[in-house]
Chains A and B, each alone.
Chain A
């Protein structure tokens, strides 16, 4: 079954949806969307470095994504507003990445593949990496689930409960780096945050507990991946953006239904 490129693409897409579900919920709850954006854009710089040094794309993207997340954390609260800091970091790292890629003579690189993803070209090895990363993210977040929730609710409350919020935030930063690195081949650097935020936001309309919100986000993400792939195959559209389009349809539909329900009550 793995000989079929569509089957491999489906497995890769579901893997990303699974990793994105718990992390995406925290991105929504903690308003980290722009933080995710900066990390994802920085990954392009990582891809460029990986190509130049001839090392694994995953390793390069992960390395730069983590550095970027660390810099953003260090710079926050030092004069500029967080969204300004992230705006500077996100776009400069993207620009530097694109410039670095242009210096890489010799290899012809299809940059589009890293900006928008190339899910139809994932190998068995890529799938192993994606699922390895996804399981790592799930394990990390499941392990620190309650402390992460408390830290998200109120940092002082976390301190008073004997936790160290900084350590919990590090878990999220690490998970974000891993998710960006494994998702870059599937949906591309520009649309990773969409896979984080849109299923989680759509899921909010149905969920009554944090746990169900994560599960529903995972299901919405996985269905979006499958339907998006099928649509891309039928209509000959780019796969990554098609997946995000399906997720957006979920979001709009569920939000409209929720709004109507509220009016009726």
Chain B
């Protein structure tokens, strides 16, 4: 089933075109990762999909009444806005209190329900944002550099959680990230963006594409191999997908 269909999309800020002629389709159950250097239009693509940016050219079509779970990079509020995890989660979906705990459990942090958002650590915060997106039982999860501020073990654990969510709920996932290696290992499909689609395909195909190597340098090839190993290892041993296991912290 086609959830998102982007055709010949161009996005401009004034005279400055940041995204040209992008085609993208996302189906139920697949994990699509968008990688690209700073200013490559990753965020603009995501903004166009959620309707925060009007396309200069082309079109963005969503499945009618598509349920989107959006995991932002961060929240703008500082400590001046007092809000508990529970209140935050129920805010966007206007959902029942009972749904909070299962969503937090899926995100791996059920004990945080009554905490103030301002008192969470970086990793806990991202998980709560994920839980807030999951509570609406989305058909597609959109992640905008959701692991920014997390260290590599932290973001690796976070992406394993995303894979688990996809496996358990069958939703599609579209994520953009700087964390090339970690993200690549978790994706079904990778789109390498630099103002336009440089190359796309399976992680292995993209990693060996000359366009990708030109963009990120040959050094990332080694890192990718390393993380692929790490990824396999996790699949062999870590079945509960709990972040607090020693494996996640290695």
Contacts and interface: CB of A to CB of B under 8 A. Distances in A.
Given A154-B76, A157-B92, 4 more contacts: A146-B91, A153-B75, A156-B46, A160-B70
23 contacts: A29-B81, A146-B91, A149-B83, A149-B91, A150-B91, A150-B92, A152-B77, A152-B81, A153-B77, A154-B74, A154-B76, A155-B52, A156-B50, A157-B70, A159-B47, A159-B51, A160-B69, A160-B70, A204-B82, A208-B116, A209-B82, A210-B82, A212-B82
Contacts of A204: 80, 82
Find the residue from B68, B70, B75, B116 having the highest chain A CB count within 10 A. Answer: B70
B206 to A, nearest CB: 26
A209 B83 contact: yes
Given A149-B91, A156-B144, A208-B116, A29 B72 contact: no
The 10 closest A-B pairs by CB, nearest first: A160-B70, A159-B52, A154-B72, A159-B50, A160-B50, A29-B81, A153-B75, A207-B82, A160-B68, A161-B92
Contacts of B70: 156-157, 159-161
A182 interface: no
Contact of B87 (A30, A155, A159, A209): A209
A209 B116 CA distance: 9
Contacts of B87: 209-210
A62 interface: no
Contacts, number: 69
B47 A156 contact: yes
B142 interface: yes
Contacts of A154: 72, 74-76
Interface of B: 46-47, 50-52, 68-70, 72, 74-77, 80-84, 87-88, 91-94, 116, 142, 144
Contacts of B84: 208-209
Interface SS of chain B: helix, strand, loop or mixed? mixed
Given A157-B92, A209-B83, A152 B116 contact: no
Contact of B80 (A29, A155, A157): A29
Nearest to B138: A160
Contacts of A210: 81-83, 87
A166 to B, nearest CB: 10
A253 B202 CA distance: 60
B82 A152 contact: no
Interface in A133-161: 146, 149-150, 152-157, 159-161
Interface string A24-39: 0000111000000000
Given A154-B72, A154-B75, A155-B52, A208 B80 contact: no
A208 B94 CA distance: 19
A153 B52 contact: no
Given A209-B83, A209-B87, A156 B92 contact: no
A213 interface: yes
Interface in A190-239: 201, 204, 207-210, 212-213
A11 B52 CA distance: 43
Contact of A160 (B77, B116, B142): B142
Nearest to A155: B52
